[in-house]
């Protein structure tokens, strides 16, 4: 009976931690979407990356995973930073007038979706006990692509609510 109570307690703790992780991700999605609208190309991408690294830091604290800034930058850049679409949306902003509007809207959605996907990749690994030092970037890329598509839908649902 004591083992059953302990298992229920552990499951409850996992559920609560997952809820907290989803809150961290959602907050950072909102910040990333805002940073994506910054009208200055490259500056927007730098801001989004900084927000994503902060999200990773907060998730590491929540899951009691050792966080090292350089390692975090490397992982975020390796998994999400190479997104061609993100760079293209940022560069569209260089077109006077309409480019700022179109690029800002596209960059906002991509920034939010990328942040969502990164968050899902990291919490999935952390829940399996994977430390940052042991993180498999190849496996992370696969999960990221799938989560990115879900992230676009998630971001659109947020935009419709607000």
pLDDT at residue 125 above 80?
A: yes
What confidence tier does 106 reach under pLDDT thresholds 50, 70, 90? Answer: low
CA–CA gap between residue 142 and residue 79 (Å, rounded): 9
How large is the angle between the packed helices 69-76 and 43-62, nearest 10 degrees? 120
Q: To which residue do tokens 């949306």 refer?
A: 89
DSSP code string of 91-142: HHTTSTTHHHHHHHHHHHHHHHHHHHHHHHHHHHHHHTT--GGG--HHHHHH
Average the pLDDT over 127-141 and give the result: 85
What confidence tier does 161 reach under pLDDT thresholds 50, 70, 90? Answer: confident
CA–CA gap between residue 122 and residue 144 (Å, rounded): 10
Q: What angle do CA 103, 36, 69 make, to 5 degrees?
A: 140
Task: Note the pTM of the prediction, 2 decimals.
Answer: 0.80
Question: What confidence score (pLDDT) does residue 38 get?
Answer: 78
What confidence tier does 87 reach under pLDDT thresholds 50, 70, 90? Answer: very low
Average the pLDDT over 51-79 and give the result: 94
């Amino acid at each position: 009976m004591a083992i059953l109570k302990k298992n229920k307690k552990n499951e409850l703790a996992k559920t609560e931690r997952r809820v907290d992780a989803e809150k961290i991700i959602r907050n950072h999605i909102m910040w990333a979407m805002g940073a994506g609208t910054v009208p200055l190309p490259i500056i927007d991408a730098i801001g989004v990356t900084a927000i994503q690294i902060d999200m990773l830091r907060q998730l590491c604290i929540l899951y009691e995973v050792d966080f090292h800034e350089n390692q975090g930058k490397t992982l975020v850049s390796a998994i999400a930073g190479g997104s061609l679409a993100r760079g293209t949306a940022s560069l569209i902003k260089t077109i006077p007038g309409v480019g700022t509007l179109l690029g800002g809207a596209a960059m906002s959605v991509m920034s939010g979706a990328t942040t969502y996907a990164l968050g899902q990749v990291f919490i999935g690994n952390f829940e399996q006990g994977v430390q940052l030092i042991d993180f498999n970037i190849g496996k992370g890329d696969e999960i990221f692509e799938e989560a990115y598509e879900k992230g676009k839908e998630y971001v659109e649902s947020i935009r419709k609510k607000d």
